[in-house]
Amino acid sequence: MPPILEVRNLVKKYGDFTAVKGISFDIKEGEIFSLLGPNGAGKTTTISVLSTLFAPSSGDAVICGHSVKDEPMAVKRCIGVVPQELALYEDLTAHENLVFWGQMYGLTGRALTSRIGEVLEQIGLQDKAKQRIKTYSGGMKRRVNIGVGLLHKPRLLFMDEPTVGIDPQSRRAILDSVKELNRQGMTVLYTTHYMEEAQELSDRVGIIDHGELIALGTQSELTRQVGQTDTLILHIGENEDPQPLVDALKTLPGVLQATPTDHEVSVVTASAEELLAPVVTRADRLGVKIHSVDIREPNLEAVFLHLTGRALRD
């Protein structure tokens, strides 16, 4: 079966600035694909081009068998979009919003009404449907946002950072609903800068940084790239300057990488257990206080760190 989405050397420039520098990837029907990367990496731009908002500067994408450049209308009918911002009319009720957006997708009459009923049930807002959205909590608003994307029964759903700035409960609800949608057969392209989400949801992951796809594959494929390495997280004091420790640790044998972040120092090594004692000793000798230590097994964050030398969350 051909992939539902194929991106071929996609480039997007804004004037002199190249936001997306020639990326290529596929998404198979029925999978959840995450696009993971820090803020400003080009995730939203990529989604904008794929949702036919902007034309690519060069390259193309084929979605549901239609070219984004040449057949945007056909693409629009096949995809659903849940944007990062709440693109809803707050002075209207959830119901009124769904009516309008359904109509924008060409749904009318009884088909529209029944579909709205289904979607409201799916997002769990049947009771509150006739209240104005401005009275909703943040989580409820996000659910309506998702509902709008589902109205016309798309085959592929783009979700652009849907959990930014909401409480843990609502986030949990959203992640669960994504999994449920997928279970029912929906293909999802999910962008985020939260590694845990990508880890929990995705079948395959693409890591994007500065407009380039620096890694692509299943999670195990990616972590294998990093090799069998562990990450030691050293939590140091607030007022401590991590740099001297980082410099010192870099000289230790077995240390593949040492990076300061906030009040932590991340040390990548083949075996954390073996390195633990020397690290602590070295720190002690420097007079740096270590409050606690975490050992993290290879994960996407490590992959990112390995590939870019920076932390995902900077």
Partner 1 sequence: MNRILAIFRKDTLLRFTSPIEWAFFLILPIFFTFLLGGGTGSSSDQRIHFFVVDQADSPLSAALITELERSSAVRPSVMSYEEAISEFNERQISAVLILPPRFTIETLQAGGVEVELRQQPNNVRAFAIQQGVNTALTRVSSAVDIAAASTSRAELITPFPSPDQKQAFFNAALEDAYAQLKQAPQRLAEVSAGTEDKIQYDPNANSAAGQMITWVFIPLIGLSAMFAMERQLGTLRRVLVTPTSKATYLAGTVLGQVLTAVLQMVILVGFGALVLKLKWANAPAATALIIVTSALAAGALGTMLGTFVKTEAQGNGLSIMIGMVMAMMGGCWYPIELFPAVIRSAAQALPTYWSMQGMLDILVRGQGVRGVLLESALLLGFALVFFIIGVARFKYE
Would you tell me which residues interact with partner 1 (CB under 8 A)? Answer: 51-53, 73, 76-77, 79, 81, 83, 85-89, 91-92, 96, 99-101, 103-106, 108, 148
CA distances from 232 to 78, 93, 196, 223 (A): 45, 50, 18, 16
Name which of 86 and 256 has its Cβ closer to partner 1.
86
Q: How far is the CB of 36 from partner 1 (least distance, A)?
A: 23
Q: How far is the CB of 62 from partner 1 (least distance, A)?
A: 17
Q: How far is the CB of 56 from partner 1 (least distance, A)?
A: 15
Q: How far is the CB of 169 from partner 1 (least distance, A)?
A: 24
Name which of 111 and 295 has its Cβ closer to partner 1.
111
Distance CA 191, CA 70 (A): 25
Distance CA 262, CA 236 (A): 9
Q: How many residues does the chain have?
A: 314
Assign 276 to helix, strand or coil: helix
Q: How far is the CB of 97 from partner 1 (least distance, A)?
A: 9
The DSSP bridge pattern shows strands 5-14 and 58-63 to be: antiparallel
Name which of 105 and 194 has its Cβ closer to partner 1.
105
| Residue 258 CB burial class (10 angstroms; 0-12, 13-18, ≥19) | buried
**In the sheet where 17-27 sits, what is the strand order?**
17-27, 5-14, 58-63, 66-67
* Residue among 54, 49, 10 nearest 213 (CA): 10
Q: How far is the CB of 103 from partner 1 (least distance, A)?
A: 4
Name which of 88 and 186 has its Cβ closer to partner 1.
88
Q: How far is the CB of 252 from partner 1 (least distance, A)?
A: 50
Name which of 27 and 79 has its Cβ closer to partner 1.
79
Name which of 100 and 294 has its Cβ closer to partner 1.
100
Long-range contacts (CB closer than 8 Å, 24 or more residues apart) made by 238-247: 238/263, 240/288, 240/289, 242/288, 244/286, 244/288, 245/282, 245/283, 245/286, 245/288
Name which of 89 and 194 has its Cβ closer to partner 1.
89
